[in-house]
Structure 1
Amino acid sequence: MQVQGKYDAKTFPNAKAFLMEQMTRAQGLRLKRLSEEAYQPAQYDRDLSFAEAARRIQILEAEIELANSF
């Protein structure tokens, strides 16, 4: 899932709720694993929102992919 750009009330009426929703258990597990794999344990935090967790997961996946390309 990509979380990018700005959303207004017409295109995404629950945007505020989405941004404040707690990350899922699956996101937490994935983020923890990716942060350890990327040697960036500070990227994991138990109290992240769904959107912030998605953003960090996306960034870590890109960094790991880049590192594996060398």
Structure 2
Amino acid sequence: MLVQGKYDARVFLAEQMTRTQGQRLKRLSEEAYQPAQYARDLSFTEAARRIQVLEAEIELANSF
């Protein structure tokens, strides 16, 4: 993650999702009745994208 003493964001974004992301994604996918959205081998960025989409879908469903 460090390149010549500096933080390299590209390396971080390509890494596997964090444990917190995994827990949150699993909970949201179950809440949205979309268990296929959860996978253990997602990248950090893909997990963040799926979390964002699921949160938006849940918020939309709750607005009715």
- Report the TM-score when normalising by structure 1: 0.77
Contact 1:22 1:49 in 2 (8 A): yes
The runs of at least 4 consecutive aligned structure 1 residues that moved more than 4 Å come to none
Match of 1:62 in 2: 56
**Unaligned runs of at least 5 residues, structure 2:** 1-6
Contact in 2 for aligned 1:27/1:53 (Cα 8 Å): yes
Aligned residues: 58
Pick the structure with more helix per residue.
2
Identity among equivalent pairs (%): 83
Report the Cα offset of residue 19 of structure 1: 2.8
Aligned amino acid, residue 43 of structure 1: Q
TM-score by length of 2: 0.84
Q: Comparing both structures, which one devotes a greater share of its residues to strand? A: 2
Aligned-partner residue type, residue 59 of structure 1 = V
Question: Larger radius of gyration, structure 1 or 2?
Answer: 2
**Partners of 1:50 and 1:56 in 2: how far apart?**
10
